[in-house]
Structure 1
């Protein structure tokens, strides 16, 4: 399918969902009252942003009621407006100092699919100056997901996993949704992590191979680390932590190299937002790897972009200058 058709269908669904909810609740809001804000990664270029705007207009959103906003900008706006007593770093430093005139801060936006990093300096008029071009990529949460997928393949075999994804797409998605929730919550203090694995996957494996899944696990590196009870899979924290190794190393290496750039010298603050930033493992690694930096993590960092976009819709932030692509 054409990408434009897919994107516009998704936006049209959310548009319809909102309008239906407003009508059901009797909010008294009609569509002409709404300003729509669509957020995009800072790394996207102008043609990509224009593509998103085109998709939104095709989905029924009026172009003069639409704003396209960069995710790190709106995340910063959310944190700037958050009650300062709740916006604290690990060292107990209040976060409002991050957004004072002349301060420089790095936005580390770690999502489920990608990591975007942008560095800003607050200008005297409180506008933002981009100090270094946005960077990042598929560095973060998807690497953890891939490690988890490889574990499933070792347990059940690639052919079974592929057939399961084709014939039971709902159950297949549920596995990763369950893992996503655990990924954001896991810490190194737990002994075991419990996942729900659909019975349909075990039944397919046993039907295809003639073996019980417990017998298969004995022949893998996970023989003493993974157990099955009914539809529950118990994994040791050691195995769970191993899923994060590649992602954490890539993120830390990227930030380390970025901080060496002369353009951003003097940057002492890291603002962590995005769903993956809710992970205590990632939070602790960033704090440990950059002890001289003030690491600010707002409550519910996964909602920072969403809530910041609402604020942006009411009062757009001015970017005084950007780095040309």
Structure 2
């Protein structure tokens, strides 16, 4: 019996997938071991990429449980919390840093953080699968993903961390998220995507995550190899565009950054609010008249106390009366307002793709959308309208495409290679990033009573969408922390 375990440590959230291979020709199914939130009665297939360590460097909690324990009285003083550590390891700088700073400024060796997290994630799956089935020993194979736009030395560092965690070199594989996502697309739509014999085919991969959009060009050749020809990062959301606009709507009502405060004090209710918002982003169609977001009674009560007035009256005074409506425990966002959350982000994606990739690779006919926001039908319509001559592919469970594809690659050992001109392209990208040091600006969707737009503080590019500004503090919005 062989069990393949895939672990995705994303820049915002982490997840897993596993498959049992018996060798008897049985159907092989993918499973995900959910993360149980001990303080609330719900399960989730993803958990935040957040780790809580003791002062002795021992991993005590991971994901949302790490946030909850950190918020407990007295915990923050003798524990170290690391948020967005995958971003800080692999994407914030040109090389992997030796140490990472915790939430309160203390430091810990990067390799100790990553090796401990890899051990936790694999053990989480093994506790459910067991180490023995029908008295037959199990051979485990592991696949660990890397962000597609990782810095120099990321693969080597991941290898060293896995070995330090106790995984022998011949028992694990490392793959880039975009290549893994393409692999699952090839399985789901082979008639459209798999090239004929001796024919190569290139794909434009657009990874629509909560914080950035990762753009890459992948070449699938007849030798079953996936070649990365191009990759680039863009903060087209202007620091979590869609979710941050939702935050700023309440900021206009309460007069302060209320949800940031609410997250620190009441993380359980905060998670429930965010989960409902994400669910509505996924299921809302472009012709929906209005979207209902469930609000906790505690949140509404605290908002009323902090603003000193009824929440609906406060909304009217800010000029949002025709955009949102509060009734009982629901916040109703009208259709045009909800769709406007996607407008700027969608336009930025289109501009970035046109300027950075299609202009250089005009023969690409296949565009693949994956990631959390790729599930939005509103965003899908924006992309389809912008590229009517391209074939747009969105795999099932687009937010899980990378980890499921990693599982398939661990089973079949699909080779991932970098093109010869990839390093030259990357050198030019880094040069452009250092020269510009800024990202595209996205105007905010909501206007206050005075008619002025609440705008992002991100600088505006004078010419074109630019690569992500490699800042250690890229996202200030709390809504980026919890997936």
Q: SS of the counterpart of 1:165?
A: helix
Instruction: For structure 1, list consecutive stretches of 5 or more residues without a partner in the other structure.
Output: 86-93
For 1:25 and 1:154, the matched residues in 2 are separated by: 56
Q: SS of the counterpart of 1:188?
A: coil
For 1:27 and 1:158, the matched residues in 2 are separated by: 59
Greater share of residues in helix: 1
Alpha-carbon distance change, 300 to 202 in structure 1, aligned in 2, over 3 angstroms: same
1:88 is aligned to none
Larger RCO of the pair (alpha carbons < 8 Å, separation 6+): 1
Residue 272 of structure 1, CA deviation: 1.7
Of residues 7, 10, 13 in structure 1, which corresponds to 2:120? 13
Q: SS of the counterpart of 2:288?
A: coil
Q: How many residues align?
A: 314
Greater share of residues in strand: 2
Q: SS of the counterpart of 2:402?
A: helix
Of residues 389, 392, 397 in structure 2, which corresponds to 1:295? 392
CA displacement 1:1-57 (0-9 Å, x = unmatched): 335555444433322211110129957676x72111111222102323334344444
Alpha-carbon distance change, 299 to 159 in structure 1, aligned in 2, over 3 angstroms: closer
Q: SS of the counterpart of 2:203?
A: strand
2:207 is aligned to 109
Of residues 226, 242, 246 in structure 2, which corresponds to 1:148? 246
For 1:286 and 1:98, the matched residues in 2 are separated by: 27
Of residues 168, 174, 178 in structure 2, which corresponds to 1:72? 178
Alpha-carbon distance change, 49 to 146 in structure 1, aligned in 2, over 3 angstroms: farther
1:316 is aligned to 413
1:90 is aligned to none
Q: SS of the counterpart of 2:216?
A: strand
Q: SS of the counterpart of 2:153?
A: helix
Instruction: For structure 2, list consecutive stretches of 5 or more residues without a partner in the other structure.
Output: 1-101, 103-107, 427-483
Alpha-carbon distance change, 28 to 277 in structure 1, aligned in 2, over 3 angstroms: farther
Alpha-carbon distance change, 307 to 162 in structure 1, aligned in 2, over 3 angstroms: closer
2:287 is aligned to 189
Contact 2:183 2:408 in 1 (8 A): yes
Residue 150 of structure 1, CA deviation: 0.8
Is 1:210 the counterpart of 2:301? The answer is no
Of residues 260, 267, 275 in structure 2, which corresponds to 1:162? 260
Contact 1:98 1:105 in 2 (8 A): no
Q: TM-score, normalised to structure 2's length?
A: 0.59
Is 1:120 the counterpart of 2:223? The answer is no
Residue 168 of structure 1, CA deviation: 0.9
CA displacement 1:155-194 (0-9 Å, x = unmatched): 2232533332221122223222221121122221111101
Is 1:33 the counterpart of 2:139? The answer is yes
Alpha-carbon distance change, 47 to 212 in structure 1, aligned in 2, over 3 angstroms: same
Q: SS of the counterpart of 1:287?
A: helix
2:130 is aligned to 23
Is 1:81 the counterpart of 2:197? The answer is no
Q: TM-score, normalised to structure 1's length?
A: 0.86
Of residues 206, 219, 234 in structure 1, which corresponds to 2:317? 219
Alpha-carbon distance change, 303 to 52 in structure 1, aligned in 2, over 3 angstroms: same
2:335 is aligned to 237
Alpha-carbon distance change, 321 to 235 in structure 1, aligned in 2, over 3 angstroms: closer
1:89 is aligned to none
Residue 298 of structure 1, CA deviation: 2.0
2:55 is aligned to none
For 2:257 and 2:240, the matched residues in 1 are separated by: 21
1:40-55 mapped onto 2 (5 Å cutoff): 40-55=146-161
RMSD of aligned alpha carbons: 2.7
